[in-house]
């Protein structure tokens, strides 16, 4: 039996999902239903720490390119397509209700490949020689998401592939997106309490993987008490181990499980103690296939939770769920 509590997140657990830990499924379910955030030990997560470093170098190369180079792959150009491409600083405001100014960040959104190293959107010039690196990295991220979804299914007592088959790639369309983020260091006009790097929000999809760099903190999660709690870049004291990968549950998986798994609100700030530096991060937002029906999860744990909370949702596709979520945010 999984204990489901609604207390504030205290410490985000670090979970070993290698085969040497038979308790991984239950530990993941507990963390996902309590905190909504969990660190995955990167001893056997399938995302090579050297590849993560290299991707950060590509990200730096892209964001330091000229405005013309970035403009050529702009999200607002017809070529890039919906939600794909470069977002210049000042374009996105993740928390429009309470933010006075837009997020202080730039981003590059890379959609799912349509073939081996092939993309529908234009690839920025500095990344062009590395399309296979991007492709392999997206694949490794996807496989990790699938492993986590299998563990969650196992812990919920359903077929281990129940969620995974609904996220299966590569020929079917999904809204899965890989995002490189750059938050420039604060300049002199920075105003405490006014400028925010990324406004309070929850993620839309099923699972998000987040990669951070040592010495570049700033992520915070909102406890149920309403207090903001800093998320460390490295929760381990031991610097000799690879950094764990941060994973969080998105709105779609929260809704699909009747609120059992938590999509926790988070934001990125200019940290008070270590102010001054740039922050780079990378996020892999995993979504089911657009056409996947969000049918009732055949798990007694989920169904009991729905009975208790009354949070039954109508059966729609993942694509429709995203449209509804975007409509609610942007008031369209």
Ligand X SMILES: O=C(O)CCC(=O)C(=O)O
Residue 281 contacts which entry, ligand X, Fe ion, none (Cβ below 5-8 A, type-dependent): ligand X
Contact flag: residue 24 with ligand X (CB under 6 A): no
- β-sheet bridge partners, residue 240: none
CB of 192 vs Fe ion, minimal distance in Å: 22
Helix (H/G/I), strand (E/B), else coil: 124 = coil
**Residues listed for the chain:** 332
Please check whether residue 110 is in contact with residue 59, taking contact to mean a CB–CB distance below 8 angstroms: no
Contact mark string toward ligand X, 176..215, x via CB under 6 A? ---x-x----------------x----x------x-----
The one of Fe ion, ligand X, none whose footprint includes residue 220, by CB under 5 to 8 A per kind, is: none
Near Fe ion by CB under 5 A, which window of 111-119, 195-203, 253-261, 269-277? 195-203
Q: Nearest approach, Cβ of 310 to ligand X (angstroms)?
A: 29
Q: Which of 175, 243, 231, 235 is nearest to 204 (CA)?
A: 175
Reduced 3-state DSSP string for 272-290:
CCCCCCCEEEEEEEECCEC
Site for ligand X in 239-268 (CB under 6 A): 266, 268
- From CA 134, how far away is CA 272, in angstroms rounded? 34
CB of 281 to ligand X, least distance (A): 4
Structure tokens at 295: 């049918």
C-alpha–C-alpha distance, residues 46 and 61, integer Å: 25
Strands 207-211 and 85-87: unpaired
Query: How many positions of this chain bind Fe ion (CB under 5 A)?
Result: 1
Which one of 103, 106, 195, 203 is in contact with Fe ion (CB under 5 A)? 203
219 binds ligand X (CB under 6 A): yes
Q: How far is the CB of 265 from ligand X (least distance, A)?
A: 10
Q: Which residues bind ligand X (CB under 6 A)?
A: 179, 181, 198, 203, 210, 219, 266, 268, 281, 283
């Amino acid at each position: 039996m999984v204990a489901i509590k609604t207390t504030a997140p205290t410490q985000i657990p670090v979970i070993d999902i290698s085969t040497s830990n038979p308790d991984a499924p239950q530990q993941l379910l507990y963390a996902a239903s309590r905190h909504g955030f969990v660190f995955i030990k990167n001893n056997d997560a399938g995302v090579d720490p050297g590849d993560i470093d290299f991707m950060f170098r590509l990200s730096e190369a892209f964001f330091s390119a000229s405005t013309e180079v970035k403009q050529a792959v702009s999200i607002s150009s017809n070529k890039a397509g919906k939600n794909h491409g470069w977002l210049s600083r000042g374009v996105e405001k993740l928390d429009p209700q309470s933010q006075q100014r837009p997020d202080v960040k730039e981003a590059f959104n890379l959609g799912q490949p349509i073939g081996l190293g092939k993309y529908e959107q234009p690839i920025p010039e500095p990344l062009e020689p590395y399309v296979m690196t991007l492709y392999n990295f997206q694949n490794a991220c996807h496989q990790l998401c699938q492993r986590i979804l299998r563990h969650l299914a196992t812990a919920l007592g359903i077929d281990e592939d129940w969620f995974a088959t609904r996220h299966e790639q590569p020929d079917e369309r999904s809204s899965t997106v890989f995002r490189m983020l750059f938050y420039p260091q604060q300049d002199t006009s920075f105003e405490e309490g006014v400028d925010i790097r990324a406004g309070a929000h929850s993620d839309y999809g099923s699972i998000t993987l987040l990669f951070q760099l040592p010495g570049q903190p700033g992520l915070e999660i909102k406890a149920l008490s309403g207090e903001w709690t800093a998320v460390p870049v490295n929760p381990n004291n031991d610097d000799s181990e690879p950094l764990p990968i941060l994973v969080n549950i998105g709105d779609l998986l929260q809704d699909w499980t009747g609120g059992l798994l938590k999509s926790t609100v988070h934001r990125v700030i200019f940290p008070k103690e270590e102010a001054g530096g740039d922050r780079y991060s990378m996020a892999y937002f995993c979504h089911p296939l657009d056409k996947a029906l969000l049918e009732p999860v055949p798990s007694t744990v989920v169904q009991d939770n729905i009975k208790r909370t009354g949070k039954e949702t109508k059966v729609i596709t993942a694509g429709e769920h995203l449209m509804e979520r975007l409509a609610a945010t942007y008031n369209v």
